């Protein structure tokens, strides 16, 4: 749910993040790039990134599922996949300090996008909204997102609203050419009266927000 009813189909996205032991981060990334084709043989990977700013030694990946029965079947198949378990899972589990997942839906007014080219960076922005749901804050939030899109400096990839995990939470995934291009674009946007007005209207419903800069992995479909 976001600015209205949930999208008609049952498709949802599982957002997984792992905190990796600092001494093992390089090895984890190498193993993931080498063996992740074993995992993507079972279900669709949207993207896989590691953090560069805002958090350290952390990876994010997003999975697309048709419905909850689909996810259950995939998890069952993975548990029985000997190659996946022996070549990757058993090796990397000792490298992890923490695992976290959420289930989210794309908001009804957003389709999953793609960057105009490879080689940029991604920004993952998390908004903790006040309780009350999209009936309270949905239109104002959408207007703030669209105001940033209309400035042209950044590309929207997706807007997700949580169904499992911390609720009243919205994640927005942006693509930028570079961290400096993003910084210049945001500086300009904050001088745009339309952006300022839309953001002021939206922050009335905001409790907190956080962001991280993400670098796509070699094995990531979104690069």
Question: How many whole angstroms separate alpha carbon 83 and alpha carbon 89?
Answer: 9
Say if residues 24 and 158 touch (Cβ distance below 8 Å).
no
What is the full DSSP assignment across 160-213?
Answer: EEEEESSSSEEEEEEEES-HHHHHHHHHHHTT-HHHHHHHHHHGGGEEEEEEEE
> According to CATH, where is 3.30.70.100 located in the chain?
12-103, 107-216
pLDDT digits (tens, 9 = 90+) for 48-80: 999 999 999 999 999 999 999 999 999 999 999
- The CA R_g of the chain, rounded to the nearest whole Å, is 18
- What does the mean pLDDT of the chain come to? 93
- Report the CATH fold assignment for 12-103: Alpha-Beta Plaits (3.30.70)
Report the candidate in 43, 45, 172, 155 with the shortest Cα–Cα distance to residue 107.
172
CA distance 37 to 49: 15
Tell whether the model's pLDDT for residue 4 goes beyond 50.
Answer: no
What CA–CA distance (Å, rounded) separates 138 from 1?
9
In three-state secondary structure terms, 76 is helix
Q: Where does residue 123 rank: exposed (0-12), middle (13-18), buried (19+ CB within 10 A)?
A: buried
| Fold annotation for 107-216 | Alpha-Beta Plaits (3.30.70)
- 17-21, 96-100, 102-106, 148-152 — which is least confidently predicted? 148-152
The pLDDT, as a whole number, for residue 52 is 97
pLDDT surpassing 50 at residue 1: no
160: tokens are 């997700």
Residues 175/120, Cβ–Cβ less than 8 Å: yes
Give per-residue pLDDT as tens, 144-188. Answer: 999 999 888 899 999 999 999 999 999 999 999 999 999 999 888
**DSSP H or E run through 64:** strand 58-65
User: 36: helix, coil or strand?
Assistant: helix
Q: Model's pTM, two decimal places? A: 0.92
Token pair, residue 149, equals: 């899109």
Contacts of 114 (CB under 8 A, 6+ apart): 157, 222
- Scan for tokens 């058993």, then name that residue: 90
d(CA 86, CA 10): 32
């Amino acid at each position: 749910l976001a600015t209205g009813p949930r999208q008609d189909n049952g498709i949802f996205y599982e957002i997984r993040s792992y905190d990796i032991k600092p001494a093992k981060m390089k090895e984890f990334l190498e193993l993931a790039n080498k063996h992740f084709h074993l995992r993507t043989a079972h279900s669709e990977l949207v993207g896989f990134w590691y953090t560069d700013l805002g958090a350290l030694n952390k990876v994010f990946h997003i999975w697309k599922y048709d419905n909850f029965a689909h996810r259950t079947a995939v998890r069952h198949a993975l548990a029985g996949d000997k190659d996946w378990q022996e070549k990757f899972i058993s090796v990397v589990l000792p490298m992890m300090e923490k695992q976290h997942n959420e289930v989210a839906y794309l908001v009804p007014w957003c389709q999953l996008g793609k960057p105009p080219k490879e080689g940029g960076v991604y920004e993952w922005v998390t908004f903790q909204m006040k309780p009350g749901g999209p009936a309270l804050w949905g239109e104002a939030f959408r207007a703030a997102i669209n105001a940033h899109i209309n400035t042209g400096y950044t590309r929207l990839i997706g807007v997700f609203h949580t169904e499992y995990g911390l609720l009243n939470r919205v994640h927005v995934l942006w693509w930028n050419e570079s961290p400096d291009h993003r910084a210049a674009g945001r500086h300009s946007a904050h001088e745009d009266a339309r952006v300022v007005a839309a953001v002021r209207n939206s922050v009335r419903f905001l409790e907190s927000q956080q962001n991280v800069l993400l670098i796509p992995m070699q094995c990531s479909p979104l690069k």
